Amino acid sequence: MKYLLSLALLVCSAASAADLKVYPYDGAKFVPGQRFDLRIEAENVQNFQGAAVTLDGQPVAGLVQTTTKPTSVEWTLRGQSLPTGLHELSVRYRDAAGEATKTARWYVVPAAAARAKNVILFIGDGMGWNTVNAARLIAHPYNPTNGTPTGQLAMMSGLSGMASVTTSSFDSALADSANTASSIATGQKIQVNALNVYPDNTADTLDNPRVETITAMLRRSMGKGVGIVTSAFGVDATPAAFASYTRRRGDYSAIADQYFKGDVQPDVLLLGGSRDFIPSTAPGSRRKDTTDWITDSQKQGYTFVSSRTELNAANTNKLFGLFNIDNIPSYLDRAQYKTTEALGDFKDMPYLWDSTKKAVETLEKNPNGFFLMVEAGMVDKYEHPLDWQRGVWDVLELDKAVEWAKDYAKTHPDTLILVTADHAHSLSVYGGYDATKGPGKREAVGVYESAGFPTYGDKRDANGLPLPETARTYAVGFAAVPDYCETYLGRRIFLDPTVSNGKTGAEAGYLPNPKICEEGGVTRTGNLPPTANQGVHTADPLPLFAFGPGSENFFGMMDQTDLFFSMARALGLDATRNR
């Protein structure tokens, strides 16, 4: 039977009646047994007189009624779940201004037979199709004698499933990492800056109605191991989406606490920065209390590691790693430039393939299988400041982790491997650039036949990746930018594209970074507001590459929420069961 999942909400009676909101929203989908919090809100209330709430024609018992302000009434019922099929919630409300009715219909998809035991989900933060293509062009340059490809990225070769993925937020056509990663984790549309929660009308960001993540369900119903790996700071939006719940992604300390006290409690946490896991008395801490998760995690049975050497030597069932005070610097900074400015005191940080390998070695000890999310978090953090080289080389680092995972799956054929992104950036390769003419020369940009064949790959580093310095490179640009200076070339020391104009209030804004302009950069007029200091996310579609059992569920055009249901289907997830 097919169901219409985008039904309009019915609001009838006087226009002056209270404004009703229902969460989960109309058209929401779930897997069997997936838990969610029911929230009903009436705003602009005038002398509330009563309400009736039914689910599939039967009164809903247990609703807790509250009044957060004189003009509102709310009802909450936490920890609900539904069996397979179509369900309808109806709210009939009455106050002095009149009556109102709101209906929400939800669909619980049927469970499927399991195809995969394990899932390794790779997320390149900000890695849209064009970013992946830029990485391919650099790693596998075209044959200069005839223009034929010389190879493909590991994530693009030997595919058994492929899709283009569209993104949107509950409250916007454009998306951020919090709500997009949450869509992958829960199958729901989530507000910008929110993690796995629906809206509510309270100021408390931690009391919003929740929807259960795939990681929590796999832990609860199937006893699977869970791992989270990222090169970004430890409680950044994408890793947080797989183990926390909050309306504000900036609730960093609360997210760190939920890693160890929430409903997931991953077996493996290999993260970038430590600011939110160390007590307020420690240098660099962002916490306002004395919580010390490095110490307390070991009391919970975790082995703690803080360097690549310690990581590779670890042999444990529970692993917690922090490798920097903040984000792990780019691959170029760790493997090639190795400057003090970038590395500071952290000289021995792992590569993403090191963390992926050790996470799998730890998780595979669980006989029930595992779910591992691996994020190349710094792709996004370098695309924002328009540093395309650092962003693209981090895609190449991710690709080597994917290559390792594909080799692992050869001997573990019950492992589904997925490679995708949370959102895109506006990066585009539009020509060649003659680097011998120096930075910022528009006449050095070649298009069509003048673009020639860039010479990446002539020299490679110890890990087999090409060096960024080459005689002929690509002309790479961004579509969503502030005012900045374009040099066309990378640099050994990272620089922000803009600096403050020194003004405050309404006149505050940003100017092109003079240090970049002094390199010989061409001044570019941006298309973002003057208050923007870097590039922004775009609504461009994302790639998805699938390998292994269940990959047939990933094809064609998919909404980002579909990824959740396709993973659940591949794993045979039925959350009505509890272990």
In this model, does residue 13 exceed pLDDT 60?
no
> Cβ distance 427 to 388 under 8 Å?
yes
Bridge pairing between strands 303-305 and 510-512: unpaired
461-512 residue pLDDT tens: 999 999 999 999 999 999 999 999 999 999 999 999 999 999 999 899 999 9
Q: State the Cα–Cα distance between residues 488 and 143, nearest whole angstrom.
A: 23
Strand partners, 499: 511
The pLDDT score that the predictor gives to residue 578 is 83
Provide CB contacts within 8 A for 319, sequence distance 6+.
267, 268, 269, 270, 302, 303, 305, 358, 359, 362
pTM: 0.95
3-state secondary structure of 579: coil
Instruction: Output the furthest CA–CA distance in the chain (Å, rounded).
Output: 81
In this model, does residue 275 exceed pLDDT 80?
yes
351-373 residue pLDDT tens: 999 999 999 999 999 999 999 99
In this model, does residue 133 exceed pLDDT 70?
yes
The pLDDT score that the predictor gives to residue 250 is 96
> In 3D, which of 132, 170, 180 has the Cα closest to residue 537?
180
Alpha helix locations (H) across 140-241?
177-186, 214-222, 237-240
The pLDDT score that the predictor gives to residue 302 is 98
- The sign of the CA dihedral 130, 132, 138, 140 is negative
The pLDDT score that the predictor gives to residue 442 is 95
328-354 residue pLDDT tens: 999 999 999 999 999 999 999 999 999
Query: Side-chain half-sphere of 55: how many Cα atoms within 13 Å?
Result: 18
In this model, does residue 14 exceed pLDDT 70?
no
Kindly report which listed range (12-21, 29-38, 207-216) carries the lowest average pLDDT score: 12-21
User: What's the average model confidence in pLDDT over 242-271?
Assistant: 98
Q: What band does 459 get if pLDDT is binned at 50, 70 and 90? A: confident
In this model, does residue 558 exceed pLDDT 80?
yes
The pLDDT score that the predictor gives to residue 1 is 28
In this model, does residue 5 exceed pLDDT 90?
no
In this model, does residue 3 exceed pLDDT 50?
no
Q: What band does 233 get if pLDDT is binned at 50, 70 and 90? A: very high
The pLDDT score that the predictor gives to residue 458 is 78
User: What's the average model confidence in pLDDT over 103-129?
Assistant: 97
368-387 residue pLDDT tens: 999 999 999 999 999 999 99
> Cβ distance 273 to 325 under 8 Å?
yes
The pLDDT score that the predictor gives to residue 16 is 56
pLDDT mean across residues, the chain: 95
Strand partners, 42: 20, 73
Whether residue 83 has a cis bond before it, omega within 30° of 0:
no
State percent of the chain over pLDDT 90: 95
301-330 residue pLDDT tens: 999 999 999 999 999 999 999 999 999 999
User: What's the average model confidence in pLDDT over 161-173?
Assistant: 96
